Amino acid sequence: MAEQLLSEGATTGRLRTGDPYRSGPGDALRTYRMVAAMWIRSTMAYRTSFALTLATSFCVTFFDFVVILLMFGQVQGLGGFSFAEVAFLYGTTGTAFGIADLTLGSLQRMGRRIRDGSLDVFLLRPAPLLAQVAADKFALRRLGRVLQGLMVLVWSLVLLRDEVAWTWGKALMVPGMVACGAVIFMAVMVLGASALFWLQDAAEVTNSFTYGGNTLLQYPPTVFAQDLVKGVVYVVPLAFVNWLPALYVLGRPAPAGVPSWAAFAAPLVALVCCGLAGLAWRAGVRSYRSTGS
Amino acid sequence: MRLYATVAAGGFRRHATYRVATLAGLFTNTVFGFVFSYTYIALWAERPQLGGYSMSDALAYVWIGQALITVCGLMGGGFEDELIERIRTGDIAVDLYRPADLQSWWCAANAGRSAYQLLGRGAVPLLIGAAAFGFTLPDGLSGWAAFLLAVALGSFVSFALWYLVAMSAFWLLDGQGVVQVAWLSGLFFSGMLLPLTVFPGALGEIARALPWAALLQVPADVYLGRYGDGRGLLRAYGFQLGWLALLLAAGRAAQAAATRKVVVQGG
């Protein structure tokens, strides 16, 4: 049914319903805002439940950090990095990933929607598909992760106040890397969601790059095997989320023989990732065949 | 008894159909296994014998953890979402009409799921980890058997825990908050992030006494042969069985109370 409408719309140009890549970014943002606002209103109907889930979301990520605290209770440094430096790595990736998770975390549910056929409903609406799916069941509680990441980041900056020779470039690098990092994580999420059009059950593979990448980036690159580090520089460019810019801020050499100017390439990398994710998404939507139920 | 064996086989088969999901999960467990392994290597290089583990023990611990995530439901039992949904929508009434006990039914289905996950998502990461890092292996066939028994008990304790969590939905209807709290406790107190033997002072003692220790810490220590002679091993099993009995009884009590409530409400 949806397929039929889709092809009809494409040929006649009259029915634009469900044709997600014909509309501008303004459309997408408006749709996202509307759907997200609706879910926030519905969440706020159960305020106690919301407060509880927000608190747990905060704690889940906080326990992540407790592990690092417990580790540093036993040792002075990890891979040659001090506590403040590891906290800086943790805070930057945690905030970037938190922002990406808050905005696009719902994409994970898409596999289920493809399987049970409820994605067709989205295709029928005259609004961009990606924005609809991304805002579907928008969970404001994910703000807990952002807050926790920010708290650790601020704490690490207080600790690093005198250790780092701050310049304007370094100071601007901190918000810049969080923003670019969030965009890179978002691109990975969209890429993963695109794969779901072909592999409906594979949502967990995305987790290894998003959650797994986040965990990886919390620790200094000196801890890991150099091949693994090269992999996140050249293959899945997660190193640009925080490792490369953070090492520049901390005044340390870049890992895996990467030139130090690469720290400034993060915006470009983020842009390329977005382009690739966009292409993958279009290819995915085109190949979508409804379950027909 | 035959009924529950059929239910367990059904649980096994049902999860065996999600082959891509199993592969995706395997991949994720392996990636996390590698990330954790390197951080543990860095940690144990600074502090050899931390928590009484050698580096080789610590690496084995990482991969046992990755292998048991789904088997022993460290981050979710794998059935509670469905059960809570049935309670929320009222479908549970149909289940209660069945000539089978609700708790035993779900327990059997979960045992089947757990057995599948052991083969599908447990064995392979352990093999990959052993090939990549060459960590400690159990002491012969008896060591493996002792480990598997501890894993089985851990899986049942996990069931009892998550069943109790699901029962809360009868009162709260929206189980999300409780599930998240349980998930959080499981993540931290099972020792998945860091072995409970590394937790300092009172925090460590409390963590090792809580039921979540039965899901990963105890099976891992059985695997590493840390309970020594037969008596130590029996104490470990006793710890798991004790929590199992207590949690199953609590779940049963909650179920009985809930059933009465359903009857009153359902009219």
Q: Which of B34, B183, B188 sits opposite A228 (nearest CB)?
A: B34
Q: What is the pLDDT of residue A292?
A: 61
- The number of beta carbons lying within 10 Å of the beta carbon of residue B142 is 9
Confidence of residue B154 (pLDDT cuts 50, 70, 90): very high
Asked if pLDDT for residue B267 goes beyond 50, the answer is: no
Please tell me the distance in Å from B254's CA to the nearest CA on chain A: 21
Q: What is the pLDDT of residue A12?
A: 39
Q: What is the pLDDT of residue A47?
A: 79
Report the chain B residue with the minimal C-alpha distance to residue A86: B39
A215 vs A136, which has greater pLDDT?
A: A215
Which pTM value belongs to this model?
0.87
Residues of B with CB below 8 A from A212's CB? 28, 31-32, 35
Mutate which of B17, B29, B38 to disrupt the A interface (most A C-beta within 10 Å)? B38
Using a CB–CB cut-off of 8 Å, the residues of A that contact B are: 46, 49, 52-53, 56-57, 59-60, 63-64, 66-67, 70-71, 73-79, 199-205, 207-208, 212, 215-216, 219, 223-225, 228
Average pLDDT of chain B to the nearest whole number: 88
Residues of A with CB below 8 A from B194's CB? 67, 70-71
Size of interface A-B (CB pairs under 8 A): 100
Please tell me the distance in Å from B234's CA to the nearest CA on chain A: 31
Residues of A with CB below 8 A from B187's CB? 60, 63
Put simply, the answer to whether A71 touches B200 (Cβ < 8 Å) is: no
A111-121 residue pLDDT tens: 888 888 888 88
Asked if pLDDT for residue B170 goes beyond 90, the answer is: no
ipTM over 0.90: no
Asked if pLDDT for residue A2 goes beyond 50, the answer is: no
* C-alpha–C-alpha distance, residues B60 and B48, integer Å: 15
Q: Which of B21, B176, B194 sits opposite A67 (nearest CB)?
A: B194
Q: What is the pLDDT of residue A62?
A: 84
Put simply, the answer to whether B42 touches A57 (Cβ < 8 Å) is: no
Q: Which of A75, A200, A228 sits opposite B47 (nearest CB)?
A: A75
- The number of beta carbons lying within 10 Å of the beta carbon of residue B71 is 27
Confidence of residue B237 (pLDDT cuts 50, 70, 90): very high
3-state helix/strand/coil string of chain B: CHHHHHHHHHHHHHHHCCHHHHHHHHHHHHHHHHHHHHHHHHHHHHCCCHHHCCHHHHHHHHHHHHHHHHHCCCCCCCCHHHHHHHHHHCCHHHHHHCCCCHHHHHHHHHHHHHHHHHHHHHHHHHHHHHHHHCCCCCCHHHHHHHHHHHHHHHHHHHHHHHHHHHHCHHHHCCCHHHHHHHHHHHHHHCCCCCCCCCCCHHHHHHHHHCHHHHCCHHHHHHHCCCCCCHHHHHHHHHHHHHHHHHHHHHHHHHHHHHHHHHHHHHC
Question: What mean pLDDT comes out for the span A194-206?
Answer: 84
Asked if pLDDT for residue A3 goes beyond 80, the answer is: no
Put simply, the answer to whether A53 touches B177 (Cβ < 8 Å) is: yes
A53-106 residue pLDDT tens: 788 778 878 888 888 999 998 888 898 999 999 999 999 999 999 999 999 988
B19 vs A98, which has greater pLDDT?
A: A98
Average pLDDT of chain A to the nearest whole number: 85
Put simply, the answer to whether B198 touches A70 (Cβ < 8 Å) is: yes
Please tell me the distance in Å from A192's CA to the nearest CA on chain B: 12
Question: What mean pLDDT comes out for the span A227-247?
Answer: 91
Please tell me the distance in Å from B140's CA to the nearest CA on chain A: 31
